[in-house]
Chain A
Amino acid sequence: MEPVWEAGYGGPDLHRRNFGTPCLVRGDITRKNFIFALIPQLKRVGFPAHNVKIWWYSMGMTIAEKILARASGKSKVEPGEYIIGKVDLAMVHDLTGPLTLNVLKEVGYDRPWDPEKIVIILDHQVPANSTVTASLHKQLREYAGKYGTKFHDVGRQGVCHQILAESYVKPGMLVVGADSHTCTLGALGAFATGIGSTEMASVFLTGELWFRVPETIRFELKGTLKPGVSAKDIILYIIGKMGVDGALYCATEFTGEGVERLSVDGRLTLCNMAIEMGGKTGIVNPDVKTLQFTNTKNESQVLRSDKDAEYHKTMEVAVEDLIPQVALPHSVDNVKPVSEVEGVEADQVFIGSCTNGRLEDLEAAAKILKGRKVKAGTRLIVIPASPSIYMEAERRGYIRTFIEAGGVVCNPNCGPCLGGHMGILADGEVCVSTSNRNFIGRMGSPKSKVYLVSPETAAATAVEGKLTDPLRYVRG
């Protein structure tokens, strides 16, 4: 039977909501008061209990909302609300940092609010590959030296998001970076998002920034991955379903067994690509693995989503059924199973970047490449994302495996990911890459093509010289 009365509870917004039928109780009241208010009303209308529809508005918050609430000194925030947040960590790199410094010059004042919270990382073209790059590096080096900000110069450099993950980010932090993939760090239970260079100048001076609290989309990952399938395949699959603007402005939260079972490395891969579906950030609720990875002893700063938090929408992903995925040129949402498009000839294979340059990725690739050779006519470029990953990969023999197979291993930096350095593509060439963007001209010539895949798929492709489903290698 259709309800003839309605009653609603929770949230200041409720006064504005349209109830289809006469409303018995509404407003921003507690659960207890709601029951007290409802009972006399029900008596008044003669207890037609089966005819009453109760709207139960959630009072809980998502982890993203909680972090923004704390950063702005409030007890509760709601999507759509504007806040000023105190920033815990601000990062610029060698391409965006100089622009920020130029803005500071124009303002006429450049002393940072807190040098300890500013991290400057050389990573896009390192060591410098031209006089232009060299002078950008110099500009940043001088600023860092003058004010004592954190600085990762040649020798301590690495892909900025990986360096932040290893040494700076803790759960509960509000992190901003002048790079769109700053969303990666949400994997550690932080709220991390990319901002523009002008805004970054404002953060440098004030330590604060305005935000509009985003709605959160939840991805509930069910089950566990098959061997040979990894976090990259999950996120490619999701982006394929959502489209490049499917999560526009939203925070994207990953929950469920599928995420809990992933290592921190895998979670960083998931959150890294949130921006590729328009997300403001990717985020994972911190657990034991997070606390261990970030070396968090004091749990007081750690925040998690409430059970009754309100989500903009929820999408379920059956992770156990997943097979390796590939994003075809020239859009990240142009996703198909690798098995459907096998055979595309690869001139170059790139394993690295802020998406897949971590130890677990190198391990997966090395397992496939061990004792095998890169196909003649194909070039394999491997770039560990940070010095510590490089050293550990060396200790475990992965680096040797890559070189023996006929690959080249470069020092930690972004490499060919954005077509600036170390493996730029010529006209008509094809690269099968573990990075995150395949836009026209992204890795060099506008006439080249980029296919985005997992490290497993990249390694199998290097062996065969053409796009290859790695499941065969994992089983065999």
Chain B
Amino acid sequence: MSVIRGRAWLFGDNVDTDVILPGKYLVLTDPNELAKHALEGLVQDFYKKISKGDIIVAGKNFGCGSSREHAPIALKYAGVGAVVAESFSRIFFRNSINIGLPAVISKDARRTIKENEQISIHLEEGYILRESGEKIPVEGYPEFLLEILKDGGLLQNLKRKFAGMGGVSRTQP
């Protein structure tokens, strides 16, 4: 997994799925359309303001609320490279990794990193590197989660593993 580099966008605790992607957009299916409403509840035109790879750095319980997979999808297609938070809601955490957006747990990131600071996340090594050269530890991922993230999500991961197996089988077992 390559290093994720970008500017830090700071957010507080309990950023819920309704501000990440308001419920009224759940009817949209095109991820690029969803992206236009990412974090609309907190930052107007977030998708225009961010540069590809930028990193969200938040407090506790990021992604609490509904189980909508649309929320991490909107962030990913808006260009967010990763979300770092002190903790995540369980379902957001699973969804995020399964759709290929790294959700990174770090107890100290939110307290130390400054708004707009250029940072890089070294997932395999388990730290965030600050401009000053300071390293902030993050909770490491095991090999298999890195693999899902490398493939860009669970669906791609499955496709890679099973695509060569002869299409949807039509025969009786």
Which A residues have a C-beta under 8 Å from some C-beta of B? 80, 82, 84, 103-111, 115, 146-148, 195-196, 198-199, 201-202, 205-206, 210, 212, 245, 248-249, 278, 280
Contacts and interface: CB of A to CB of B under 8 A. Distances in A.
B145 A82 contact: yes
B101 to A, nearest CB: 14
A118 to B, nearest CB: 12
B173 to A, nearest CB: 6
B69 A196 contact: yes
B168 A280 contact: no
B118 interface: no
A452 to B, nearest CB: 20
B6 to A, nearest CB: 25
Interface string B142-173: 10110010000011011101110111110011
Contacts of A109: 162-163, 165-169
B96 to A, nearest CB: 12
B18 to A, nearest CB: 14
Given A82-B141, A198-B69, A107 B172 contact: no
Interface string B70-90: 000000000000000000011
Contact of A110 (B69, B94, B169): B169
A147 B173 contact: yes
A82 B154 contact: no
Given A82-B144, A212-B93, 19 more contacts: A84-B144, A103-B155, A105-B168, A107-B163, A108-B163, A109-B166, A110-B168, A111-B169, A146-B173, A148-B173, A196-B94, A198-B154, A199-B98, A201-B158, A202-B158, A210-B142, A210-B145, A245-B64, A278-B90
A199 B162 contact: no
Query: Interface on chain A toward B: helix, strand, loop, or mixed SS?
Result: mixed
Contacts, number: 75
Contacts of A84: 144
A199 B98 CA distance: 8
B120 interface: no
Interface of B: 61, 64, 67, 69, 89-91, 93-95, 98, 139, 141-142, 144-145, 148, 154-155, 157-159, 161-163, 165-169, 172-173
A212 to B, nearest CB: 8
A108 B167 contact: yes
A210 B144 contact: yes
A291 B172 CA distance: 37
Given A84-B144, A248-B61, A107 B159 contact: yes
Nearest to B97: A210
Contacts of A249: 89-90
A206 B148 CA distance: 14
17 contacts: A82-B142, A82-B145, A107-B159, A108-B159, A108-B168, A109-B162, A109-B163, A109-B167, A110-B169, A146-B172, A148-B173, A198-B98, A198-B155, A202-B157, A206-B161, A210-B145, A245-B64
B127 to A, nearest CB: 15
B90 A248 contact: yes
B142 A111 contact: no
A131 to B, nearest CB: 22
* Most chain A beta carbons < 10 A, residue from B64, B69, B90, B145: B90
A317 to B, nearest CB: 24
A196 B172 contact: no
A84 to B, nearest CB: 6
B119 to A, nearest CB: 23
Contact of A107 (B67, B93, B98, B158): B158
B41 to A, nearest CB: 19
